[in-house]
Amino acid sequence: MAQNVEAALPDKYKNMSEWYTEILERAEVIDIRYGVKGFIVYRPFGMILMKNIIKLFEEELEKTGHKPFLFPVVIPERNLRMEKEHIKGFEGEVFWIEKGGYTPLEERLALRPTSETAIYPIYALWFSSYKELPFKGYQTCAVYRYETKATRPLLRGREFLWIETHNVYFTEKEARDQTVEDAEIFYKVATEKLGIPFLHLKREEYDKFPGAVDTYAFDTLLPDGRVLQIGTTHYLGTNFTKVFNVVVHDEEGNLVNPHSTCYGIGLSRILASILLIHGDEYGAVLPFDIAPTQIVIIPIYKAGFENKEIDKYCNEIHESLKNEGYRVIFDNSEKTPGEKYYYYDMRGVPFRIEIGPKEVQTSKVTVFRRDTRSRETIPLEQLKEYIVKTKDEILKNLREKAEKRLKDNIIEARTKEELIEAFKKEGRKIYKVFFCGRKECADEIKSVLEGLETRGTPINEKGEGPCVWCGEPGHICYLAKAY
């Protein structure tokens, strides 16, 4: 992938698709040249970034009692077909393995599209008493779906990374409480640590996860006005435990089916959201905690000044910051300062420390802050305190900007005429309406308004009114175009 360091990036808000393609290539996040549609290669920069995101979620999951496991990637066809609603929702997207070498398999194997049908037959062997519950387990893995829509790197592919939890509880209340905890975990990481705001929505009945009793989703807003589902949690009731004969003894010795939940954290889409929401005309802009390189030190050599003195000063700062646990680079390569600025700006390095003769002579450092593109010269002894304070300010700034944009892009409409007029004027936005819950109305809205979809009911907002489309009694619902 040849890079033209002189070429400006496209405008993210006018041409998000082109901007995104350029960022993925120039920042070396992924490589799309693998040769199989819908499959990508994570380059080292992208994979380090992904691992840092994974770590944040896994830490929160384990704090709340989740234990890691790993199930096989293949699922016997008989398992996949046992839950009828589930297979109906996934059958058209399954990759099938039919041969082992030259030998036809006795039974087809599915590449994991999601793991309920792999996990519950084993849960039936693991649990026999209510005393063994609750059980909270998760795995970080790849899943495979034969996506028939247009693929888009990280946003919509045929192989993508996620974390999935599969939890089992004796009572319905415990299971439903788990879906609340899932949302809290998502907020702690996605919003508080990554600066990604989202709408927490209960999906409509016709839009649930196949086999779920209730589905709750987390949708974020992208620069082109579309929303992206970056996570979901589902109350499954006893639908899967009944089908796969997961039974436990209660206090009286009766056999009962426990309740279960599953929770999907869309890692690939979260990585895409970070790039798309925070990035600017110079490249990626990353929260400090997940940046593969958090600080870069760049020497500014000057004719007539002893460069060894600059290198010595830079090395001392480098060692000091490295000893604090920061991911820091001292770049004394032969590239020009401008080439280095371009390179590290594109990769979203939060802090750039520039050291020239003046800094050496005055025991100061000039710090460039990536999110605001501002420089500040401070005494060297204040550097560590500055980084501790400012790294949190960077996250706060990124989060507040993203939250404001999400809020500013929500438009209310109360009648069909208002909605149609608003859509003609505003186009891709999020529309807050009352909706009756009927799929027929949803289908008509999507047909008339060029793909505008019902995304669901906000969890923390209550209200009733006439459906924006048919006038029948309705509840609050958000509409948006989605990936």
- Helices 383-408, 307-323: inter-axial angle, 10-degree rounding: 70
By residue count, the chain amounts to 483
- The answer on 108 and 64 residing in a single domain is yes
- The answer on 332 and 433 residing in a single domain is no
Q: Is residue 273's pLDDT more than 70?
A: yes
Residues 376-391, mean pLDDT to the nearest whole number: 98
3 falls within a domain: no
285 falls within a domain: no
Q: Among residues 278, 302, 319, which one ends one of the domains?
A: 278
DSSP classification of residue 190: I
Instruction: Report the alpha-carbon distance of residue 357 to residue 312 in Å, rounded.
Output: 12
DSSP classification of residue 375: E
Beta strand pairing status for 328-330 and 295-299?
A: parallel
- The answer on 323 and 426 residing in a single domain is no
φ, ψ for residue 210, nearest 5 deg: -55, 120
pLDDT of residue 304: 85
48 falls within a domain: yes
- The answer on 158 and 98 residing in a single domain is yes
Instruction: Report the alpha-carbon distance of residue 35 to residue 51 in Å, rounded.
Output: 24
- The answer on 266 and 297 residing in a single domain is no
Task: Kindly indicate the confidence band of residue 6, based on its pLDDT and cuts at 50, 70 and 90.
Answer: low
425 falls within a domain: yes
- The answer on 136 and 247 residing in a single domain is yes
Instruction: Report the alpha-carbon distance of residue 273 to residue 402 in Å, rounded.
Output: 11
pLDDT of residue 5: 52
User: Whole-angstrom distance between the N-terminal and C-terminal Cα of the chain?
Assistant: 27
Q: Which of 90-94, 106-110, 433-437, 446-450 has the lowest mean pLDDT?
A: 90-94
- The answer on 153 and 223 residing in a single domain is yes
Residues 355-364, mean pLDDT to the nearest whole number: 97
Q: Is residue 83's pLDDT more than 80?
A: no
Q: Which of 144-148, 361-365, 392-396 has the lowest mean pLDDT?
A: 144-148
395 falls within a domain: no
- The answer on 253 and 353 residing in a single domain is no
- The answer on 442 and 304 residing in a single domain is no
DSSP classification of residue 281: T
**What does the pLDDT look like over 217-228, one tens digit per residue?**
999 999 999 999
Residues 375-388, mean pLDDT to the nearest whole number: 98
Total domains, the chain: 3
394 falls within a domain: no
Query: Of 148 and 143, which is predicted with more confidence?
Result: 143
- The answer on 248 and 126 residing in a single domain is yes
- The answer on 384 and 414 residing in a single domain is no
Amino acid (one-letter) located at 437: G
- CATH number of the domain that 272 lies in? 3.30.930.10
Whether this model's pTM surpasses 0.85: yes
Structural domain span for residue 382: 293-389
Q: Among residues 226, 252, 278, which one ends one of the domains?
A: 278
What does the H/E/C string look like for 410-430? EEECCCHHHHHHHHHHHCCCE
7 falls within a domain: no
Percent of the chain with pLDDT over 70: 99
- CATH number of the domain that 440 lies in? 3.30.110.30
Beta strand pairing status for 135-144 and 159-169?
A: antiparallel
φ, ψ for residue 121, nearest 5 deg: -60, -30
* Nearest of 284, 264, 262, 281 to residue 273 by alpha carbon: 284
Q: Is residue 306's pLDDT more than 70?
A: yes
- Report the SS3 class of residue 250: coil
52 falls within a domain: yes
- Report the SS3 class of residue 234: strand
Q: Among residues 356, 389, 422, which one ends one of the domains?
A: 389
- The answer on 117 and 57 residing in a single domain is yes
- CATH number of the domain that 367 lies in? 3.40.50.800
Instruction: Report the alpha-carbon distance of residue 399 to residue 244 in Å, rounded.
Output: 43
Residues 12-34, mean pLDDT to the nearest whole number: 97
